[in-house]
Amino acid sequence: MRFTPVTLTAEEEALRSEVRAFLAEELPKGTYRPGLGMSAGHSPEFSRKLAARGWVGMAVPPEYGGHGRSPVDRFIVVEELLAAGAPVGAHWVADRQTAPTLLKFGTEEQRRRFLPPIAAGECYFSIGMSEPDAGSDLAAVRTAATKVEGGWSVSGTKIWTSGAHLNHFFVVLCRTSPLADDRHHGLSQLIVDLTSPGLTVHPIRFLDGTHHFNEVVLEDVFVPDDMVLGEVGMGWQQVTSELSYERSGPDRFLSAWPVLEAYVAEHPGLPAERAVPVGELAARFWTIRQLSLSVARALQRGEAPAVEAAMVKDLGTTFEQEVVAVLQTLVEGDPDPGSPSLFESLLAQSILIAPSYTIRGGTTEVLRSVAARGLGSGR
């Protein structure tokens, strides 16, 4: 694996300062509750403000309403937003995942229809991959699309669909031909309107009653032919390519950062027995950040560091869970989600969310298999 050390340019550092100044004005510390990584709040108003500054759709070409910025520029903006716990939930999937997928596989009509509003922070997407019996094993999906006049009739169930109760569309991985010996054949992706007749969204609530995930049931939902994303039957190749957009960014190590930051703010003058584990966590944050930034710079050079991205995702999400576990050892008793202490309430929320960190975007086992195959091939 190759992780080249990265030094930011003066222009990149200036961008960081610009984002920090914006956040200090829009989200002064103490005036809002920070979100936890990609589980942060869903605020269309905030997404539109970011887009007005050119910080949504950064990687989208200007001809589609974007800004043609580099992966490192986007890394810097995303890192600052997540470290602040900004409410990025509305545009998150559309910006990170749907836009590059449309650029790679979409028709020109689809690009013209969806990319400009995505870059404007006005069009929001969810992910329609996992199913009740096909989470990490996406080749086992059973949601079926049957060809009908003018399009497809889709029936099945998707689960863990973040933001489906708030967003406009989701990209559904489904079977467009019967299951064969090779389960990877016969899969396709369709762009489905989340307000379609026959589509029902059921909330999946955390133990504290909060609502982020959903079950989406499709019963004979009609999807027109022009909403097929990419080629019919090529869904497996497309979805594995799409997952690469999820795996190496700051969202894979910063989910627990606001919790650690709140702990330090509320516990000045830590004794050595507590300062040492906190210092160790900070050092590991910095190390994983450098690995992630190295992947962004490689992407900027036009490389395809899939193995390195898988390793960063594995290290980052495992570490996020370790941060929560270490912080739990520094408090007495169970944290109260209703506590006036920001740290305690964020820690209580993190305990509920943290098990999902090593699942979303590919399980630890899957990612280690990717890394092992890459190492075995001499990479």
Tell me: do 337 and 359 sit in the same domain. Answer: yes
Q: What is the CATH number of the domain that holds 229?
A: 2.40.110.10
Q: What is the CATH number of the domain that holds 320?
A: 1.20.140.10
Tell me: do 75 and 138 sit in the same domain. Answer: no
Tell me: do 81 and 140 sit in the same domain. Answer: no
Q: What is the CATH number of the domain that holds 65?
A: 1.10.540.10
Percentage above 90 pLDDT, the chain = 71
Look at residue 121 in the predicted model and tell me its pLDDT: 97
Residue 303 pLDDT class (50, 70, 90 cuts):
confident
Taking residues 236-265, report their average pLDDT: 86
Asked, for residue 241, whether it belongs to a domain, the answer is: no
Tell me: do 28 and 149 sit in the same domain. Answer: no
Look at residue 370 in the predicted model and tell me its pLDDT: 67
104, 123, 142 - which closes a domain: 123
Q: How many domains does the chain have?
A: 3
Residue 244: is its pLDDT beyond 80? Answer: no
pLDDT tens sequence across 115-165: 999 999 999 999 999 999 776 677 789 999 999 999 999 999 999 999 999
Considering the chain, what is the average pLDDT of its residues?
91
Residue 371 pLDDT class (50, 70, 90 cuts):
low
Asked, for residue 203, whether it belongs to a domain, the answer is: yes
The one-letter amino acid code at 203 reads: P
For residue 75, give both structure tokens: 């890394």
123, 138, 164 - which closes a domain: 123
Tell me: do 104 and 36 sit in the same domain. Answer: yes
Residue 222: is its pLDDT beyond 90? Answer: yes
Residue 206 pLDDT class (50, 70, 90 cuts):
confident
Least confident of 35-39, 42-46, 83-87, 126-130: 35-39
Look at residue 376 in the predicted model and tell me its pLDDT: 65
153-162, 205-214, 233-242: which is most confident: 153-162
Asked, for residue 2, whether it belongs to a domain, the answer is: no
Tell me: do 353 and 253 sit in the same domain. Answer: yes
State whether residue 26 is helix, strand or coil: helix
For residue 108, give both structure tokens: 């020109």
233, 261, 279 - which closes a domain: 233
Residue 378: is its pLDDT beyond 70? Answer: no
Residue 220: is its pLDDT beyond 90? Answer: yes
Tell me: do 172 and 202 sit in the same domain. Answer: yes
Spatial separation of the C-alpha atoms in residues 286 and 265, rounded to whole Å: 19
Tell me: do 192 and 87 sit in the same domain. Answer: no
Asked, for residue 40, whether it belongs to a domain, the answer is: yes
Range of the domain at 75: 10-123
Asked, for residue 307, whether it belongs to a domain, the answer is: yes
Look at residue 359 in the predicted model and tell me its pLDDT: 77
- For residues 51-66, one letter each, b for 16 or more C-beta atoms within 10 angstroms of the residue's C-beta and e for the rest, the string is beeebbbbbbeeebbb
Asked, for residue 77, whether it belongs to a domain, the answer is: yes
Tell me: do 345 and 266 sit in the same domain. Answer: yes
Active-site residues, by number, are: 246
Taking residues 315-330, report their average pLDDT: 94
Residue 29: is its pLDDT beyond 70? Answer: yes
Which residue has better confidence, 352 or 377?
352
Contacts of 152 (CB under 8 A, 6+ apart): 145, 146, 176, 190, 222, 223, 225, 228
Tell me: do 205 and 274 sit in the same domain. Answer: no
Residue 368 pLDDT class (50, 70, 90 cuts):
confident
Taking residues 366-373, report their average pLDDT: 72
Asked, for residue 240, whether it belongs to a domain, the answer is: no
Tell me: do 178 and 218 sit in the same domain. Answer: yes
Asked, for residue 310, whether it belongs to a domain, the answer is: yes
Contacts of 160 (CB under 8 A, 6+ apart): 130, 135, 204, 213, 214, 360
Look at residue 209 in the predicted model and tell me its pLDDT: 81
Reduced to 3 DSSP states, what percent helix, strand and coil does the chain have, rounded to the nearest 5?
50, 15, 35
Look at residue 225 in the predicted model and tell me its pLDDT: 97
Look at residue 128 in the predicted model and tell me its pLDDT: 95
Instruction: Quote the distance between the C-alpha of residue 183 and its chain's center.
Output: 26
Taking residues 199-214, report their average pLDDT: 89
Tell me: do 90 and 170 sit in the same domain. Answer: no
Taking residues 304-327, report their average pLDDT: 90
